[in-house]
Amino acid sequence: MKKTSTRLADGRELIYFDSRDDVVRDAVDRRPLDPVASSTQIRRDPLLGDAVAVASHRQARTYHPPADECPLCPSEGDRLSEIPDSSYDVAVFENRFPSLAGDAGRCEVVCFTSDHEASFADLTEEQAGLVLEAWTDRTAEMAQLPSVEQVFCFENRGAEIGVTLGHPHGQIYGYPFTTPRTALMLRSLAEYKERTGGRNLFDDVLAEERTGERVVIEGDHWVAFVPYAAHWPYEVHLYPKRRVPDLLALDDAARTEFPQVYLELLRRFDRIFGAGEPPTPYISAWHQAPFGTLDACGGIDGVRRHDFALHLELFTIRRTSGKLKFLAGSESGMSVFINDVPPETAAQRLREVASS
């Protein structure tokens, strides 16, 4: 892999990740851009203890542009985009309309391929492996920023999810705090460790799931399953069999096998609802251990970074053909999910639609 870092016209960082070492990336951003102005504020809710990012400048962000004006496609002739070069393998750049910026963190966009009509599931194993390298590199770089405590790599796919740019891409958020979802996991991890005399909750959950009927795919180094208490109609958790706290700690064997397993999962998601259905909307989310607080002496309630288990959660809001799962009163008002599809049924369906 070759990594080339450059700057866009407004000073934002752009990084090319290439599979070949002989590629030269010297194209210049010719757009007359003003410097990025971010008005992000982090406001803490005194009752819930969580945080809200208030980012009014995002109201002006690009919204459903036609394909020939996509800002994530390579630049061509007089059509200039966020990618100055005429082609790329994987490209990462600072978001022009960030939810988090400066002392409030950092937001980056990850373009998985220059092919506007593709999706992640269309990538080759080599291409998917390059995306994994980009995620890992950005996690390592963001972890060094004093404003970042947790790094979150994710993909929103589909208009039903709220995606405003159709080009295959994801995002990376560097939060200046430990997110509420992770804080809940850490609390459960600490309580379980205390209650069981030092056992690891992630290890025991994974061991239990591997013996049951909810396993979807199991390789030599990764296992994918529908969790016992799945929140979403079709939800799969993907774990490396060797517990590691983040993407940086994956060994070569796990890195090699990841594209095979992940691409198979994505392709099965597109087959859930049968032929003729539009592509399945989904969210794909990496959960990594926070940096900083868990590294401190004693960790948090006796939990250290190495106790956390890196994993990916993949889920769709489509519950059946032509119908979506909406977060209504119970989910939005009280955070109590009601799932219409039994997890065992979802796992069976995902096993049945194995891609050829």
Quick: pLDDT tens for 218-273.
999 999 999 999 999 999 999 999 999 999 999 999 999 999 999 999 999 999 99
Average pLDDT over residues 176-186: 95
User: What's this model's pTM, rounded to 2 decimal places?
Assistant: 0.96
Active site residue 306: no
At residue 199, what is the residue type? R
At residue 192, what is the residue type? Y
pLDDT at 347 over 70: yes
Residues 6+ apart with CB under 8 A from 165: 62, 64, 65, 70, 71, 72
pLDDT at 355 over 60: no
Catalytic member of 167, 169, 221, 287: 169
Average pLDDT over residues 135-159: 97
Measured between alpha carbons, how far is 305 from 296 in angstroms, rounded to an integer?
Answer: 10
Measured between alpha carbons, how far is 173 from 153 in angstroms, rounded to an integer?
Answer: 7
How high is the mean pLDDT of the chain?
94
For the chain, percent of residues with pLDDT exceeding 70? 98
Contact 152, 285 (CB under 8 A): yes
Give residue-wise pLDDT tens across range 77-88.
999 999 999 999
pLDDT at 295 over 80: no
- If pLDDT is split at 50, 70 and 90, which confidence band does 297 have? low
CB atoms closer than 10 angstroms to residue 275: 5
Residues 6+ apart with CB under 8 A from 98: 36, 38, 40, 55, 58, 106, 107
**Element housing 58 (H / E):** none
Give residue-wise pLDDT tens across range 189-229.
999 999 999 999 999 999 999 999 999 999 999 999 999 99
Residues 6+ apart with CB under 8 A from 69: 79
